[in-house]
Amino acid sequence: MSGISVRSWISSIADRGRELLDLPISTPQEPFTQLVAMCKDLVSQKGEARGTAVAREVVRLWENLPEKDHLRFFQMIQNDFSANRATVIKAAEAFAKDPSEPNLAVLTHASEPVRQELLRRINMAPNGTRAIVDMRETLVGLLKTNRDLEPLNADMQHLLTSWFNRGFLELRHIDWDTSAAVLEKLIRYEAVHEIQGWDDLRRRLATDRKCFAFFHPAIPDDPLIFVEVALVHGLADSVQALLAPEIDEKAPKTAKTAIFYSISNCQAGLKGISFGNFLIKQVVEELKREFPQLKEFATLSPIPGFMGWLRTRQKSKADDADLAGEVLEGLSNEDWINDPEKVEALRKPTVALCATYLATCKRGKSPLDPTARFHLGNGAQLERLNWLGDTSDKGLRQAGGMMVNYAYHLDYIEKNHEALMNDGKVATSKSVAQLAGI
């Protein structure tokens, strides 16, 4: 059953539920008060038709809720739909006396906040999943000044992680014939290398380029991730060259390398939600089927955390703290990029520090750099560093112009992934390992 037909079916259930409840199309009550009442009504519903109808009303009221009431709404959900403390204490005491599986099940059930069930029931509504993703996007924006809402954020993240795992995702090819609505979103969501309008987009979809998107059946018209690929000859070392307007018409038949040069997460409400590993492997397999001559699959990736790490390193007691300070000072000099002597003086120490950052610096067992964390977690190898790989203002600001190639060696993807997940071992080429001194 298609996503559209499923939504139509759910809408018909909600319509029948509206008839049963005799719910009004509009209400004279203050929106926030009505929303609170509907949320409480929703968790008390037993019948599916009535529950779906109430869920749709909750979604409608949320979508029309004034921005000034958003914080109050989240505070209400967290406080009014928490777990019953007395019930939790009673179950915990019973488990402490007799740590049996039945008592553990009772404790687990008692300790789950009611707000999780509320969110599951909101998800019953047509466009309920979309509404919850939008709710979390709003919540994430409020967390910076309202850290007390972290328990609610954790509950939403827990549920969304279950709903958006890789098994549910659908990979689609994006080309010039894709709907204008999706193409507009590609322009809007591009987070790595900004697309400068429709002409630039047409270049990104030319014959020597491929673009893919992952979708979820609950929100079938809104992409979750865009993946942009260039068909080239050998590892790319400059994004400016990769994005040049010239089209290689022969690339689909002659190119031996596929370069992933932009991967953009589209939904702010899914921040921190892992879609699982091996997403890129799925794209690699698709490319391999279409272009069997391809032998090499790699990225040309930004290093968004490098300059921030350099500043932290400078203040640390590490052996290379002074070197980090010197590099920072050099990269901060105005117009250094146009001075050949300064460029050459900065090259060796910057590359060496960048190798140390990517190959050895971690958060737990995972790489510290977010882009490294994604690709190495997907089974790639830290292959090569590229000095002045991105000389745009953003590239210079984020990483002093550095870029990196992560290589996807098909026979080692699973092995690399397991080594990182189990032992925190970063798969690294000999050249990068030597630069990092490991």
Is 60 exceeded by the pLDDT of residue 26? no
Domain shared by 14 and 148, yes or no: yes
Model pLDDT for residues 243-265, shown as the tens digit of each residue? 999 999 999 999 999 999 999 88
Of 375, 409, 417, 429, which one is the catalytic site residue? Answer: 375
Of 193, 216, 264, 301, which one is the catalytic site residue? Answer: 301
Average pLDDT value for residue range 13-26: 50
Domain shared by 102 and 198, yes or no: no
Domain shared by 331 and 270, yes or no: no
Burial of 249 (0-12, 13-18, 19+ CB in 10 A): exposed
Count up the domains in the chain and report the number: 3
pLDDT of residue 48: 80
pLDDT of residue 219: 92
**What are the DSSP E strand ranges found in 136-268?**
170-174, 209-215, 225-232, 257-265
pLDDT of residue 94: 95
Of the three residues 299, 320, 353, the one that is the final residue of a domain is 299
Is 70 exceeded by the pLDDT of residue 20? no
pLDDT of residue 318: 93
Of the three residues 113, 144, 163, the one that is the final residue of a domain is 163
Residues 6+ apart with CB under 8 A from 387: 347, 350, 351, 401, 402
Domain shared by 157 and 230, yes or no: no
Is 50 exceeded by the pLDDT of residue 166? yes
The CATH number covering residue 314 comes to 3.40.630.150
Domain shared by 416 and 278, yes or no: no
Domain shared by 99 and 39, yes or no: yes
Structure tokens at 307: 């300059």
Of the three residues 104, 134, 163, the one that is the final residue of a domain is 163
pLDDT of residue 27: 47
Domain shared by 333 and 432, yes or no: yes
Structure tokens at 143: 């967390």
Domain shared by 295 and 310, yes or no: no
Among 12-21, 87-96, 276-285, name the most confident range. Answer: 87-96
pLDDT bucket at 15, cuts 50 / 70 / 90: low
Strand, helix or coil for residue 9? helix
Average pLDDT value for residue range 68-88: 96
375 as an active site residue: the answer is yes
Is 80 exceeded by the pLDDT of residue 194? yes
**Residue whose pair of structure tokens reads 């009014």 in the numeric block:** 80
Domain shared by 198 and 112, yes or no: no
Q: Contact, 173 vs 216, CB < 8 A?
A: no
Q: Which percentage of the chain shows pLDDT scores above 90? A: 83
Q: Contact, 342 vs 396, CB < 8 A?
A: no
Mean pLDDT of the chain: 91
What distance in Å separates the CA atoms of residue 438 and residue 435, rounded to the nearest whole number? Answer: 8
Domain shared by 293 and 313, yes or no: no
Q: Contact, 120 vs 58, CB < 8 A?
A: no
What distance in Å separates the CA atoms of residue 112 and residue 89, rounded to the nearest whole number? Answer: 13
**Residue whose pair of structure tokens reads 């689609």 in the numeric block:** 172
Average pLDDT value for residue range 74-79: 96
Q: Contact, 264 vs 213, CB < 8 A?
A: no
pLDDT of residue 88: 94
Domain enclosing residue 328, as ranges: 306-436
Q: Contact, 322 vs 289, CB < 8 A?
A: no
The CATH number covering residue 52 comes to 1.20.140.90
Strand, helix or coil for residue 229? strand
Is 60 exceeded by the pLDDT of residue 107? yes
Which residue has better confidence, 17 or 141?
Answer: 141
Domain shared by 193 and 277, yes or no: yes
Domain shared by 355 and 407, yes or no: yes
Kindly report the CA angle at 262 between 301 and 159, in degrees rounded to 5? 105
The CATH number covering residue 204 comes to 3.40.630.180
